[in-house]
Structure 1
Amino acid sequence: MPDALPQDILEDVRILWDYNRIDDQPRRCDVGIGLGSHDLGVADHAAELYHAGYLPLIVFTGANAPTTVDRFPRGEAVHYRERAIELGVPDEAILVEPKARYTGENFELSRALLESRGVEVASVMVVCRPYQQRRAYALCRKMWPEVDVLCSAQQVELVDYLRSMGDDAKVINTITADTQRIVLHGEQGVALPQEMPTEVWAAYERLVAAGYDKRVIKDPA
């Protein structure tokens, strides 16, 4: 639990957390893309945005990763859909893309699904984990350059989020890896490059040195 984390570790995680959040002011978009993960709060937030009138249509996208297969055995997108329906989103306002295995595929396959349904898209609201926003934004802007891209996530404080997830190490390992991928994807040309402040990269390196490197690409070359 976060109360047991050393203060220096928590401070470094907070630096990465703040950097990775975008939290655009919501406005009505043609579609919301709910990115599958271990965080069911993504579906909750997508439902809130639907009920607030910002999203007439939601695509939930995601198969499974090793970190989600036990929690969502029928697939991330399928469970997200079920959750949104429980929260009052009508079935006809939801599309499910059940095959994506990583964020790039989330956008690639969601776009193909929408095109196959004849849905014209000029604006997209990416709905994801709070700390996934910057990486998702950079990928979506590069892969889908003709659409206006906003990012939105649950408004929650870091410590409260860690408590709700119940697995500090999983969250910290993921946010560390996401931060690394922002740089790698920009260098590889698969995502829109993002400015990386010195203090953010220093916090990333300290967390890796502290052992939060389980999802970091060890040899990016």
Structure 2
Amino acid sequence: MGNDMPHVGESDAVKFSRPWPEVRELGRLIWDHLVFVTPLAPSAVIVAMGCHDLRVAVQAARLWHEGWAPLVVVSGGRGKVTSGWAETEARAFARVAREHGVPGDALLLEETAANTGENITATRTLLAERGVPVERGILVAKPYMTRRSLAAALRRWPEAEWLTSAPEVSYDAHLEADAHRFLELMVGDLQRMVVYAERGFQVPMPVPEAAWAAYEELARLGYDRHVIT
């Protein structure tokens, strides 16, 4: 990648006042905190947390084939990134899961959730209505959404034990795909780790000082599209 800033226009390059290698390392500090993947254990359900990244559905299908749980719930209506999709996140995820060999009788769709907390509460309601007990579940999310997904589940479904999994996509691979949007999303997600805990939406999880300082600097530099004001 060298010292070039990928996927950022010339006007943005003028706007951002730090060299790209420094910006990249600030993002890595946030990534290192947000990514939280646990060891797996046999579970009642795999919950694919809806988003724009269909690799989450692929990972959920892989875990199903490996036998970690007999049931996959794909949860998601439309969110801040997927508002223009022709289908809900759940329908897109279900299509991908089926393409990867998950049969219909092992798949449930939850199509109302518009955020991480609703992924949890709506899935809980769906499974309760179907009489599916959950003592342990696996949350599958984008790598940088794993910690926040866990924090939401521990608040909104504390009776169950929650494990986390994610597609094996590296920080650098995310940057190569779309650096600007990726950094914006991570900046917003790290802020939500603090703001949503304060509002009672998820359990508090302390943010390291270095990660918070990186958030503040990236927001100052203009990666603030998803920052709550």
Under a length normalisation based on structure 2, what TM-score does the superposition of the two structures give? 0.90
Residue 161 of structure 1, CA deviation: 2.5
> Secondary structure, in 3 states, of the residue corresponding to 1:4?
coil
Q: Please name the residue that 2:191 is paired with.
A: 180
Q: Please name the residue that 2:152 is paired with.
A: 139
Residue 156 of structure 1, CA deviation: 2.1
Q: Which runs of structure 2 are paired with 1:43-54 in the superposition (5 Å)?
A: 43-54=57-68
Q: Please name the residue that 1:169 is paired with.
A: 180
Q: Please name the residue that 1:108 is paired with.
A: 121
> Secondary structure, in 3 states, of the residue corresponding to 2:167?
coil
> Secondary structure, in 3 states, of the residue corresponding to 1:167?
helix
> Secondary structure, in 3 states, of the residue corresponding to 1:77?
helix
- Map Cα deviations across residues 2-59 of structure 1 (whole Å, 9 max, x no partner): 9525011110111111101111012211101111111001001001101111121111
Q: Which runs of structure 2 are paired with 1:31-110 in the superposition (5 Å)?
A: 31-70=45-84, 72-110=85-123
Q: Which runs of 5+ in 2 are unaligned?
A: 7-19
Contact persistence 2:174–2:182 (CA under 8 A) = no
Larger radius of gyration: 2
> What code does the residue aligned with 2:5 have?
A
Q: Please name the residue that 2:204 is paired with.
A: 193
- Map Cα deviations across residues 129-157 of structure 1 (whole Å, 9 max, x no partner): 00001111111001111000111101221
Residue 28, structure 1, aligned to residue 42, structure 2: yes
- Map Cα deviations across residues 84-133 of structure 1 (whole Å, 9 max, x no partner): 10001111111000111111111111100000111011011110000001
Q: Please name the residue that 2:27 is paired with.
A: 13
Contact persistence 2:193–2:205 (CA under 8 A) = yes
Q: Please name the residue that 2:222 is paired with.
A: 211
Residue 185 of structure 1, CA deviation: 1.4
> What code does the residue aligned with 1:140 have?
A
Under a length normalisation based on structure 1, what TM-score does the superposition of the two structures give? 0.93
Separation in 1, partners of 2:27, 2:221? 12
> What code does the residue aligned with 1:105 have?
E
Residue 130, structure 1, aligned to residue 138, structure 2: no
Runs of 4+ in 1 over 3 A off after TM superposition: none
Separation in 1, partners of 2:112, 2:175? 28
Count of aligned positions: 215
> What code does the residue aligned with 2:118 have?
E
Provide the aligned C-alpha RMSD in A. Answer: 1.4
Q: Please name the residue that 2:11 is paired with.
A: none
